[in-house]
Each structure stands twice: as structure tokens, then as C-alpha cells.
């Protein structure tokens, strides 16, 4: 059983997720005596977290007053990808007020990238999005020590190892900052406002350049001892498979990921097995996973097979995870989610066939509901948790 959460935290989260609520309704929803609620509300209004928002419609008798999160609360959400940076400023309800997206190269190193993040935040401030930030949540494309707020030996992020990301952002903006990996923040986003809304046990699988998995157990993100739980891309699926970027052989992501699919596509185009890909290669000079998706939707047999092969391998790994963790949902997201129904059908068929019936009796395998917005939403939700917890 979960330890009961403090009242202020339940109250702030409820207002974050529901918006404006009357005092009377709050007392009902949280099942606490009205005097206790009123005292807590008064304290949180005084501390600047909650504001009065007029009168509620009458429920008979005295009209109750409405409260909402202080409309001046501001969170920054930063989602760093291998080749992109997304910066959002949200209000207390995590609704975006301003948003910027840019192409970038994470390999430029932390000083260059975080300097750009600060410039984008300064731009948002100059445009009137905020006066001061209450918290920052940031996701990075690599393993993170959640406790220390630093990336740890991230394979695609040279120069970032143990760089003090949290400390730098906290110092620059004078507010708490939280650092997590990109997959976890997507999972958090999906639970806040996507298909996994309020689902306590689920897996969020990100298929992009690599493959990773965000794990929600009993309503909390499970990060493991060192913060690298869910690094499923390096589970071996073929002991005779190709070399992986990690130095091992036959890892899942060496066989199926954006990078692997682009490589397979080039081989198929040059080998003459896929006329559709050969045509695209001749026209553009290069192929990506998106070309495979498009050619598959046009009925190209080789492309359909590539996606099915990938789905089968990923499905095999997920079947193991289902037996291990017994989640109530699997969400598929990331750039390759657009491989769509062929991929989903293959994953479902393997997971349902290979896991025990009890674990899959009611196990939806679905696409992300937020798509590219999952990371930003999750980063804002992650950031908001810190001031909310401290509001006592
Ligand atoms: Zn590997």
C-alpha cells in the first residue's frame, strides 16, 4: 500500500489537474473535514500557491468560493533530443504559454546547449511569458543520476558525463530544477495528460534513434539504483546479431531502431528487394525510418517485413517485461511510433502469445496519446512536483 500523501500535495495536484474547483467540492473530493481544508487553503493562499477565483454556482444554501492555482505560477519544460531542443513555459496547470523548438546537435556539449536553453528562456521572459520561474524540468537523451541531477556516461552525449545540469539551471534561474532521461519524462507526460492518465502500472516504450522504456510501478517512476532502469535497447535478442554502439552484439536497438531501420532500408534499396525504397534513395540520396513507414503504407513487401521483424523482436522483449512487471498498459511512443498499425499489430501478437494469459487478459498496447508533446508535458509535470512538495 502507498503511504498517504500529505494534504497540501493532494490539494495542489488536484488543482493542477482539474483547474478551478470550489471549496465545498474540494472537501468532498479529498474526503477531509471542511475546517481542516479551509485552514490548509488559507495557508497555501498566504504562501502564494493558491488564489481565490470568484464564487461557485449555488448548490443550494450558501455559495462556495472557487479556488485555483496561483495564475502566476510558471514552470519551464526542457526536452533535449539528439538533434532537437524544445523549451516550453507553462502555467501552474501545465498549459503551454510559450514554446520554442530548434534543431541542434547534443554533441555540441553541455555549455553550448544549455546556453541556448537559457537564451530561449530569456526570450520567453522578454515576450512576457513569465516574471520568475517556480521550477524547471529537463529531459536528456541518456542515463541520468536522478539523485545528483547529472547525466551519467551518456553514449550519444560526449562531454555531458556528470555535467552539473541541475546546479547550473538552479543557479541561473533561482528555482529548483529536476533532471531525468527523455523516456521517463515522456512516460510522466503520458500519465499526466495522455493515454495512461492515472494508470499506476504501465510501460512507456520510446522507439527513436534508440529504444528505451519508462517504467511506472504503483504510481511512481521506477528508476533503479543508478537511474538506468528501462534501458531495454541493450537487451540481447540475437547472439549472432550485428555489433551494437555499446560494444556488445545483437542488442535490440542494433536490430530495430531508427538507425538500424535506416541501415536496413539502404541495403534493401541497393540490393534490389524494394523498388519503392530504391526510388526514394535515387530521389533523395538518403533513407530514414520514415521512408520505410511510407513505403510500407503503400504496400511495399520488404518494408512491411522490416517493420514486422522489428515489431516481433521488440514484442519478444516486451513479453518478458510483462511477465516480470505485470503492467496494465503498454504505450508506444517516440519518432518511430509512426510505423503505426503494422508495428502495433506485430507487438500485440507476440506479447499476447508469449505472456501468461492472466497478465495479458486486459493489457492494452496503444500508441502515445500526446505524440511529440509527451516530453514537454512530462518535463513540466516533473518540475512542478518540487515546489508542490516544498509547499509545507
Ligand atoms: Zn547495445
Reported as a single tens digit per residue, the pLDDT across 267-284 is: 999 999 999 999 999 999
Q: What is the rounded average pLDDT of the residues 324-333? A: 95
From the list 233, 293, 274, the residue with the least C-alpha distance to 257 is 233
pLDDT of amino acid 64: 79
Q: Which residues surround ligand 1, an ion (CB under 5 A)?
A: 234, 244, 246, 248, 251
Q: What is the rounded average pLDDT of the residues 229-235? A: 94
pLDDT of amino acid 96: 93
Task: Give 252 or 340, the one with higher predicted confidence.
Answer: 252
Ligand 1 geometric centre to CA of 245 (Å):
6
Ligand 1 geometric centre to CA of 3 (Å):
38
Ligand 1 geometric centre to CA of 327 (Å):
25
**Beta pairing partners, 134:** none
Between CA 322 and CA 114 the distance in angstroms is 37
Ligand 1 geometric centre to CA of 257 (Å):
11
Domain boundaries, the chain: 7-69, 75-190+373-390, 197-368
Residue 358 pLDDT greater than 90, yes or no? no
Show the cell assigned to 332.
508506444
Ligand 1 geometric centre to CA of 292 (Å):
23
**Beta pairing partners, 68:** 51
Structural contact between residues 149 and 177, judged by C-beta atoms closer than 8 angstroms: yes
pLDDT band at 69 (very low <50, low <70, confident <90, very high): very high
* Proportion of the chain above pLDDT 70, given as a percent: 97
Between CA 181 and CA 263 the distance in angstroms is 26
CATH of domain 197-368: 3.30.420.40
Q: What is the rounded average pLDDT of the residues 217-233? A: 92
Show the cell assigned to 256.
530495430
Name the average pLDDT for the chain. Answer: 92
CA distances from 2 to 200, 219, 234, 267 (A): 11, 9, 32, 51
pLDDT of amino acid 261: 92
pLDDT of amino acid 343: 92
Ligand 1 geometric centre to CA of 182 (Å):
18
Structural contact between residues 37 and 29, judged by C-beta atoms closer than 8 angstroms: no
Between CA 299 and CA 4 the distance in angstroms is 53
Structural contact between residues 347 and 309, judged by C-beta atoms closer than 8 angstroms: no
Domain 75-190+373-390 belongs to what architecture? 2-Layer Sandwich (3.30)
Domains 75-190+373-390 and 197-368 share a fold: yes
pLDDT of amino acid 355: 83
pLDDT of amino acid 59: 64
pLDDT of amino acid 1: 41
Q: What is the rounded average pLDDT of the residues 200-221? A: 94
CATH of domain 7-69: 1.10.10.10
Q: Identify which of 57-61, 151-155, 347-351 has the greatest average pLDDT.
A: 347-351
Ligand 1 geometric centre to CA of 240 (Å):
13
pLDDT tens-digit readout, 80-139: 998 899 999 999 999 999 999 999 999 999 999 999 999 999 999 999 999 999 999 999
Ligand 1 geometric centre to CA of 249 (Å):
7
Q: What is the rounded average pLDDT of the residues 366-383? A: 94
Residue 192 pLDDT greater than 90, yes or no? yes
Between CA 117 and CA 103 the distance in angstroms is 12
Ligand 1 geometric centre to CA of 45 (Å):
51
User: DSSP letters along 242-297, please?
Assistant: PBPTTS-BSBHHHHSSHHHHHHHHHHHHHHTS-HHHHHHHHHHS---HHHHHHHHH
Ligand 1 geometric centre to CA of 252 (Å):
7
Q: What is the bridge-based pairing of β-strands 150-151 and 144-145? A: antiparallel
C-alpha dihedral (319, 187, 309, 344), degrees to nearest 10: 90
Angle of the 275-284 helix axis to the 289-297 helix axis, nearest 10 = 130
Ligand 1 geometric centre to CA of 135 (Å):
34
Provide the CB-side half-sphere exposure for 374 (13 A, CA): 31
Ligand 1 geometric centre to CA of 348 (Å):
24
Amino acid at each position: 500500500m502507498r503511504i498517504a500523501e500529505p494534504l497540501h500535495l493532494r490539494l495542489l495536484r488536484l488543482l493542477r489537474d482539474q483547474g478551478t474547483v470550489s471549496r465545498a467540492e474540494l472537501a468532498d473530493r479529498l474526503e477531509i473535514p471542511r475546517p481542516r481544508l479551509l485552514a490548509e487553503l488559507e495557508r497555501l493562499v498566504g504562501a502564494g500557491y493558491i488564489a481565490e477565483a470568484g464564487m461557485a454556482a449555488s448548490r443550494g444554501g450558501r455559495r462556495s468560493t472557487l479556488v485555483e492555482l496561483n495564475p502566476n505560477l510558471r514552470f519551464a519544460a526542457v526536452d533535449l533530443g539528439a538533434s532537437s531542443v524544445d523549451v516550453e513555459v507553462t502555467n501552474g496547470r501545465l498549459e503551454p504559454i510559450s514554446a520554442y523548438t530548434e534543431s541542434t546537435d547534443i554533441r555540441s556539449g553541455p555549455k553550448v546547449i544549455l546556453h541556448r536553453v537559457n537564451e530561449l528562456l530569456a526570450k520567453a521572459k522578454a515576450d512576457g511569458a513569465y516574471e520568475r520561474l517556480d521550477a524547471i524540468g529537463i529531459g536528456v537523451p541518456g542515463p541520468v543520476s536522478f539523485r545528483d541531477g547529472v547525466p551519467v556516461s551518456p553514449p550519444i552525449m560526449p562531454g555531458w558525463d556528470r555535467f552539473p545540469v541541475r546546479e547550473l539551471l538552479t543557479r541561473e534561474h533561482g528555482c529548483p530544477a529536476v533532471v531525468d532521461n527523455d523516456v521517463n519524462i515522456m512516460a510522466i507526460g503520458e500519465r499526466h495528460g495522455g493515454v495512461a492518465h492515472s494508470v499506476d502500472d504501465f510501460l512507456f516504450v520510446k522507439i527513436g534513434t534508440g529504444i528505451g522504456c519508462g517504467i511506472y510501478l504503483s504510481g511512481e517512476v521506477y528508476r533503479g539504483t543508478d537511474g538506468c532502469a528501462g534501458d531495454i535497447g541493450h537487451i540481447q535478442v540475437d547472439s549472432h546479431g550485428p555489433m551494437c554502439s555499446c560494444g556488445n552484439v545483437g542488442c535490440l536497438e542494433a536490430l530495430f531502431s531508427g538507425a538500424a531501420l535506416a541501415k536496413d532500408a539502404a541495403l534493401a534499396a541497393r540490393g534490389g528487394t524494394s523498388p519503392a525504397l530504391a526510388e526514394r534513395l535515387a530521389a533523395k540520396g538518403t533513407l530514414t525510418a520514415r521512408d520505410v513507414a511510407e513505403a510500407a503504407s503503400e504496400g511495399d513487401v520488404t518494408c512491411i517485413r522490416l517493420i514486422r521483424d522489428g515489431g516481433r523482436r521488440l514484442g519478444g522483449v516486451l513479453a518478458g517485461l510483462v511477465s516480470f512487471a505485470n503492467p496494465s498498459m503498454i504505450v508506444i511512443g517516440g519518432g518511430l511510433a509512426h510505423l503505426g498499425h503494422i508495428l502495433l499489430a506485430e507487438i500485440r501478437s507476440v506479447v499476447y502469445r508469449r505472456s501468461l494469459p492472466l497478465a495479458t487478459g486486459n493489457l492494452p498496447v496503444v500508441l502515445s496519446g500526446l505524440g511529440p508533446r509527451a516530453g514537454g508535458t512530462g518535463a513540466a509535470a516533473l518540475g512542478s512536483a518540487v515546489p508542490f512538495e516544498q509547499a509545507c
